């Protein structure tokens, strides 16, 4: 929390315990097999062609009541929210998370996670699910801390990255392999309906 307050981002390895990690992998694979992922959208209205030039990931929005297999993960996210509220006095009300899959060749251009018309995202939280990630696989998260050189973060399995949604510009470099994560946002105000979330 101190680091996040000082530098706008923090990296935490070995984030989930083994039970949570296992259920995350299992659930991810299951939803992929069921074809439940959808092409991502972006904040501004645009044609799908425009969207493809900005981001190429596929997402599955999580819902606590429906996705009961992830109960332990929702509990961990509750803890994250509580800790933020206690230590950083953030008054977070809720969170919204999705599974994200970047097929080989996809990326997400430089952006902020907070944008006009959608100002309630406070903290971005990503946990990567990439087993055996190696040099050359690409797909780094490149963050651009203000006034500093960019930093490339490798999307290693069970690595969590948290950063301020309103100030930290970031991008996903082209992934040469299939890249998986659980990605979401701690919210200042309750989430809109998942199908409206961008
Ligand atoms: O997967 C990542 O490393 C970042 C994803 C991202 O920036 C987003 O979904 O807004
Ligand atoms: Fe982002």
CA of 125 to the centre of ligand 2 (A): 9
Residue 117 and residue 184 in contact, taking contact as beta carbons nearer than 8 Å: no
Structure tokens at 108: 């997400």
Structure tokens at 122: 């406070």
* Residue 57 CA, closest ligand 1 atom number: 9
Region 102-128 average pLDDT? 91
Region 48-74 average pLDDT? 91
Higher pLDDT: 172 or 54? It is 172
Q: Write down the ipTM of this complex.
A: 0.99
Please list, residue by residue across 62-75, b when 16 or more beta carbons sit within 10 angstroms of its beta carbon and e when fewer do. beeeebeebeebbe
Ligand 1 atom 9 nearest Cα: 183
Residue with tokens 């979330």: 197
* Residue 171 CA, closest ligand 1 atom number: 7
pLDDT for position 133: 96
Region 125-153 average pLDDT? 96
Residue with tokens 């493809």: 52
Ligand 1 atom 7 nearest Cα: 171
Q: Is the pLDDT of residue 115 over 80?
A: no
Residues touching ligand 1 (Cβ under 6 Å) are: 100, 108, 113, 126, 141, 170, 172, 181, 183
Higher pLDDT: 158 or 197? It is 158
Q: Is the pLDDT of residue 96 over 70?
A: yes
Domain 2-189 has CATH 1.20.120.1770: no
CA of 183 to the centre of ligand 2 (A): 9
Ligand nearest to the CA of 161: 1
Higher pLDDT: 161 or 86? It is 161
Task: Give the single-character DSSP code of 4.
Answer: H
Ligand nearest to the CA of 168: 2
User: Residue ranges of the domains in the chain?
Assistant: 2-189
pLDDT for position 198: 45
- Phi and psi, residue 40, nearest 5°: -70, 160
CA of 92 to the centre of ligand 2 (A): 19
């Amino acid at each position: 929390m101190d680091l996040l307050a000082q530098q706008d981002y923090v990296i935490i390895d070995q984030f989930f315990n083994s039970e949570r990690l296992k259920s995350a992998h299992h659930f991810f694979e299951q939803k992929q097999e069921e074809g439940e992922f959808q092409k991502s959208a972006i904040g501004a209205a645009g044609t799908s062609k425009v969207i493809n030039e900005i981001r190429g990931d596929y997402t599955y929005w999580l819902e606590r009541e429906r996705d009961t297999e992830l109960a332990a993960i929702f509990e961990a996210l509750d803890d994250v929210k509580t800790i933020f509220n206690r230590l950083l006095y953030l008054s977070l009300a809720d969170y919204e998370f999705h599974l994200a899959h970047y097929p080989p060749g996809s990326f997400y251009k430089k952006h902020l996670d907070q944008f006009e018309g959608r100002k309630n995202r406070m903290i971005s939280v990503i946990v990567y699910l990439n087993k055996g990630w190696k040099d050359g696989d690409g797909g780094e998260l490149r963050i651009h801390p203000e006034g500093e050189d960019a930093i490339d973060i490798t999307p290693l399995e069970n690595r969590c990255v948290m950063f301020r949604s309103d100030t930290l510009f970031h991008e996903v470099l082209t992934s040469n392999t299939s890249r998986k994560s659980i990605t979401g946002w701690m919210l200042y105000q309750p989430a809109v309906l998942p199908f409206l979330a961008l």
